[in-house]
Amino acid sequence: MRRLAITAVALLLLGSLAACGNGGERQTTADGRKKVTLTLNWVPYGEHAPFYYGLKKGFYDAEGIDLTISAGGGSGKTIQAVAQQQTDFGWADTPPLLKGIASGMKVKSVGVFLQKGPASIEFLADKGIKSPADLKGKTVGGTPGDAIYATFPAWLKANGLAESDVEVVNLDAAGKIAALAEGRVDAIQGFFHDQAPTIEARTGKKVDYLLYADWGMNMLGTGLVVHEDTLSEDPDLVRAFTRATQRSWAESARDIPGATDAMAELAENEPDKPVLVEQLTLAVPLLDIDAGGAPGANAEAKWTETIGLMSRYAGLENAGGPSTYWDGSYGNEG
């Protein structure tokens, strides 16, 4: 409850900030850096460490940006804050971004960083679950309205199971971890790199997981979201912010201890240091940059795959192509 209250206050404070797209002149510091706000998808956890690392190392300063980072209350709310120009940039999950744009929000992605989606089914290791087939007869906690929940029946089908083979228990997002830790469900739907280390720290038990992406269904994960007005009115700022974020992620992947130290120093209400380290360690492979590309540089095919899945299984209507949702001229520059 304390974290949710902090999140609400942060979002209210953001509402009073002057954003670039409001027709006013952007505020600057005495040394000429542009004041920029970023709203995260949730309260700070290990995935967010690169932003704090970039702050500490001066990567944003070097691009002429004076960055303020605020907690979020879920990707949907973060996307809405960008759409309402209450914040300059958002860090948000791709499936709710697609839904937001389809509903008329004037926002776009300028690069997804977690290109291997973190959607998963998580469970305590002593449950003996090794494949989707082992979920038969089990209870799985999920949150109605999110993309993991919406695509779960299709994921089951892709792995030879019927929807009736698994009992889905409806839980709010904040209650899933407790339900699993207390044994009220056998497994939960969620982001493994965030929740698994948290559950392990709380229970002292090892958590295993089945990634959707490893079992036939990959959806793009979290990345940068910006208002269309900012793209048209200040493209140089968007390029600068994207470059600094790409550098922050690339350097954090090589220096996980340094990145998590920076987050422990600069963030508020973040998890304990060992949890932060494990969360970021699990997040880095999701960048999917083995071919040598920069973090946040996307291939159109991955956008097409995610759009197709959302269209077939999650009610995304009149979907259009990748350019409806993503401007690849930023994250793909370098």
CATH number, domain with residue 123: 3.40.190.10
Same structural domain, 232 and 327 = yes
Same structural domain, 107 and 255 = yes
Q: Which of 182, 215, 248 is the last residue of a domain?
A: 215
The rounded distance, in Å, linking the Cα atoms of 257 and 278 is 10
- Element (H or E) spanning 170, and its range? strand 167-170
**Tens of pLDDT along 102-143?**
999 999 999 999 999 999 999 999 999 999 999 999 999 999
Same structural domain, 89 and 168 = no
| Average pLDDT value over all residues in the chain | 91
pLDDT band at 289 (very low <50, low <70, confident <90, very high): confident
Question: At 243, which amino acid appears?
Answer: R
The rounded distance, in Å, linking the Cα atoms of 226 and 238 is 8
Same structural domain, 15 and 86 = yes
- State the residue for tokens 């390029």: 239
Least confident piece of the model among 79-83, 149-153, 239-243: 149-153
CB atoms within 10 A of CB 103: 10
pLDDT at 13 over 70: no
The rounded distance, in Å, linking the Cα atoms of 209 and 162 is 20
**Tokens of residue 211, six digits:** 């990634």
**Tens of pLDDT along 318-327?**
999 999 999 9
Domain count, the chain: 2
Same structural domain, 290 and 158 = no
Burial class (CB in 10 A: 0-12, 13-18, 19+), 158: middle
pTM of the model: 0.90
Query: Please, where are the H alpha helices in 175-299?
Result: 176-181, 192-203, 228-233, 235-254, 256-266, 273-283
pLDDT value at position 208? 97
**Tokens of residue 16, six digits:** 């009073």
**Tens of pLDDT along 254-285?**
999 999 999 999 999 999 999 999 999 999 99
The stretch 12-19 carries a mean pLDDT of: 41
Same structural domain, 49 and 187 = no
Same structural domain, 108 and 123 = no
Same structural domain, 177 and 323 = no
pLDDT band at 18 (very low <50, low <70, confident <90, very high): very low
Q: Which of 215, 230, 249 is the last residue of a domain?
A: 215
pLDDT value at position 7? 40
Same structural domain, 123 and 111 = no
Q: Which of 186, 215, 244 is the last residue of a domain?
A: 215
Same structural domain, 227 and 303 = yes
- Domain holding 249, by residue range, is 2-115+220-331
Same structural domain, 81 and 129 = no
Same structural domain, 263 and 245 = yes
